[in-house]
Amino acid sequence: MPLRLLVVDDSALYRKILSEAASSLPGVETATAPNGAIALSRLAADHYDLVLLDIFMPEKNGPEVLADIRREHPGVAVVMVSGATGRDAEITLGTLSSGAMDFIAKPAAGSMEAGITDLKADISRVLQLLAAKTAKTAPQPVPPAQSAPPAAGASRPSVPPHLDILLIGVSTGGPKALGEILPLLPQNFPVPVVIVQHMPPVFTRSLAEQLDRRCALKVLEAPAGHIPKAGEILIAPGGCHLELFRDPSGALATRFSDAPPVHSCRPSVDVLFESAARCGLRGAVAIILTGMGSDGAEGVRALKNALPVWCIAQNAETCTVYGMPQAVVQAGLDDECLPLEKIGPRLNQLFRAA
């Protein structure tokens, strides 16, 4: 059965580009609507699995149409389509807390062919995300019985006695997850926090600005050559890898890399974590949150091979997509698998005890 997709955009050019990019993918049928009112009437008259929804439209904008869809057609997935400006990014990130499943960026100025290629890749990723979410909500087989707890006297992992940094990797569903965890960290949090959130350029800056308004800690898009400090949360800029290294004075510092994407991602969690593993840290906490794919698992492995690390994976039930944490759990690299609401309090406990 084909997946039915509705493209909603007041621009005839973008309706054509988006619908042609989606229709070129196997198993996808597309329809279009030039405004929110027509989109809602088509949703009422026929079945659609997914809506690609423009942010700015006359009469009723994308966030307003999103609210109507969530109220009237709660089973329909919505992905926002956003231009890469600061205002667009700010509004787009807000829709992720209002029910949008994800967003894709409109092609930047340049080659139309390259833009369409990028759009096909983005829409394909969204379809994979939709499939993953559908599988998550489908009836699941009864899990096998849990293995018995370790016998008395068996060794258990222990939290490192010295913790120098908190590292976080996250993708789809990340703004919501970070928005629940980071505001719980107090102003006197004793180590720097460094995050890779899979996101395009401009959007990571807007994410940092939004989180900064909600957090006791200072949140900023990481600059190159910056020395991470306690009381700061650094978010890797979209479009480049973020690495940690020791500068000539021996201080921990940031730098950017334009190396190829890893797991189709730049920034990559693996790249950040593997760079941290080379920095001679005394100990670290690494967290892998919601996201598609497996980015972060090899980075956690590199960290654990180099230094004492306590790894927390978000559990399946609270993930938007249980991909990245699942890769860590399946590799046996996690020390705890926790629901989202328990991760912030657990961090405060870990770092008070360290």
Specify whether 295 is catalytic. yes
At 128-175, the pLDDT tens digits run: 888 877 766 554 444 443 334 444 444 557 899 999 999 999 999 999
Taking alpha carbons only, the member of 190, 219, 215 closest to residue 351 is: 190
Are 178 and 233 members of one domain? Answer: yes
Domain count, the chain: 2
Residue type, 169: G
Domain CATH code at residue 123: 3.40.50.2300
Of 19, 171, 268, 294, which is the active-site residue? 171
Beta strand extents in the chain (DSSP E only): 3-8, 28-33, 50-54, 77-82, 102-105, 165-170, 193-197, 218-221, 232-235, 241-246, 252-257, 284-288, 309-314, 336-338
Bridge partners, 219 (sequence order):
233
Of 19, 118, 122, 198, which is the active-site residue? 198
Bridge partners, 77 (sequence order):
50
Are 129 and 171 members of one domain? Answer: no
194, two tokens: 């460094």
Specify whether 264 is catalytic. no
Are 126 and 193 members of one domain? Answer: no
At 193-247, the pLDDT tens digits run: 999 999 999 999 999 999 999 999 999 999 999 999 999 999 999 999 999 999 9
Are 109 and 205 members of one domain? Answer: no
Task: Report yes or no on 150 lying in a domain.
Answer: no
Are 116 and 195 members of one domain? Answer: no
At 93-109, the pLDDT tens digits run: 999 989 999 999 887 65
Reported as a pLDDT band with limits 50, 70 and 90, residue 266 is very high
Are 111 and 171 members of one domain? Answer: no
241 vs 229: CA distance, rounded Å: 20
Domain final residue pick, 118, 135, 152: 135
Are 227 and 111 members of one domain? Answer: no
How do 252-257 and 241-246 pair as beta strands?
Answer: antiparallel
Q: Region 175-203: what's the mean pLDDT?
A: 96
Of 102, 270, 295, 334, which is the active-site residue? 295
Domain that holds residue 179: 165-353
